[in-house]
């Protein structure tokens, strides 16, 4: 039963598909997503801003705790800002690879072939810096808590990655650690925490990716 204090409208836009059509769609979407790879070498080729805007609008359709939509996407294309982000990220990454990371962590990263050099932060046309809004301020300046913030932002990022891939772009989830420098460089307010840089653009010609596999269905899912 819905409570009389809330405004409900008819579910619109839901279209039931015939079972065979459903299966075909599920199969073809799986095929599409099977071809998604994290890319670390990007072309400098520009990408139309409208494509990024549409992918962000798509990400903004994600479900979120209490529909608070606790995300903010700062899209960086200015070469000088990208240069500053690269410099700050590489400083953290050097400390990570040289001393901060445990041997176990470095061993886990070995198959990826990553290191402290992050040229993609300057080469890719867009760095989409994702911030969590941990709370918001009401009109009297009172803090309004947000719920399930990381979960909600994680879902939106997943949809964004999917939308970018579907649009024919490559991306990389990059998480320099720590990444407080992003709030400073991008002059974001105190209620926002940077959680990721989504590097987006065309892959460089001849881009290489590590030869990795994914777990099989039986390893990731149980039907009980």
Residues at the site binding ligand IYR, with contacts judged by CB under 6 A = 93, 96, 109, 112, 114, 174-177
The CB-nearest residue to ligand IYR is 114
Q: Considering the complex, what minimum distance in angstroms separates the CB of residue 104 from ligand IYR?
A: 11
Residue 181: CB atoms within 10 Å: 17
Which residues fall within 8 angstroms of residue 49, CB to CB, at 6 or more apart?
77
Name the residue nearer to ligand IYR (CB basis): 22 or 108.
Answer: 108
Listing DSSP states for 53-68 in one string gives: HHHHHHHTTS--GGG-
* H or E element that contains 91: helix 79-95
Minimum CB distance to ligand IYR smaller for 91 or for 175: 175
Q: Strand locations in 77-191, DSSP E?
A: 126-133, 135-137, 143-145, 170-174
Contact 119, 85 (CB under 8 A): no
Tell me the pairing of strands 192-201 and 143-145.
Answer: unpaired
CB of 126 to ligand IYR, least distance (A): 18
Give first-to-last CA distance, the chain, whole Å: 30
Nearest residue (CB) to ligand IYR, 118 versus 146: 118
Nearer CB in complex with ligand IYR: 186/197: 197
Q: Smallest gap, in angstroms, from Cβ of residue 15 to ligand IYR?
A: 38
Question: What is the smallest separation between the CB atom of 96 and ligand IYR, expressed in angstroms?
Answer: 6
Q: How far is the CB of 178 from ligand IYR (least distance, A)?
A: 10
Q: Quick one: 70 or 121, whose CB is closer to ligand IYR?
A: 121
């Amino acid at each position: 039963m819905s409570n009389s204090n809330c405004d409900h409208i008819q579910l619109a836009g839901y279209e039931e598909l015939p079972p065979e059509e459903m299966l075909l769609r599920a199969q073809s979407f799986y095929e599409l997503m099977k071809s998604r790879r994290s890319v670390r070498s990007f072309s400098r080729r520009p990408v139309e801003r409208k494509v990024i805007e549409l992918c962000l609008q798509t990400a903004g359709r994600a479900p979120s705790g209490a529909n608070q939509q606790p995300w903010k996407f700062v899209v960086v294309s200015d070469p000088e800002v990208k240069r500053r982000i690269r410099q700050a990220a590489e400083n953290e990454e050097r400390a990570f690879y040289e001393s901060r990371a445990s041997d176990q962590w470095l061993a886990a990263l070995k198959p990826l072939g990553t290191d402290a050099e992050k040229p993609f932060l300057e080469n890719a046309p867009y760095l989409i810096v994702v911030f969590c809004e941990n709370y918001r301020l009401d009109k009297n300046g009172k803090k309004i808590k947000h719920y399930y913030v990381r979960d909600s932002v994680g879902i939106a990022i997943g949809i964004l990655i999917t939308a970018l891939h579907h649009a024919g772009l490559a991306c990389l989830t990059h998480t320099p650690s720590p990444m407080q420098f992003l709030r400073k460089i991008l002059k974001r307010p105190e209620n926002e925490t940077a959680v990721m840089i989504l590097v987006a653009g065309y892959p460089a010609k001849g881009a290489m990716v590590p030869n990795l596999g994914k777990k099989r269905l039986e390893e990731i899912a149980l039907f009980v």
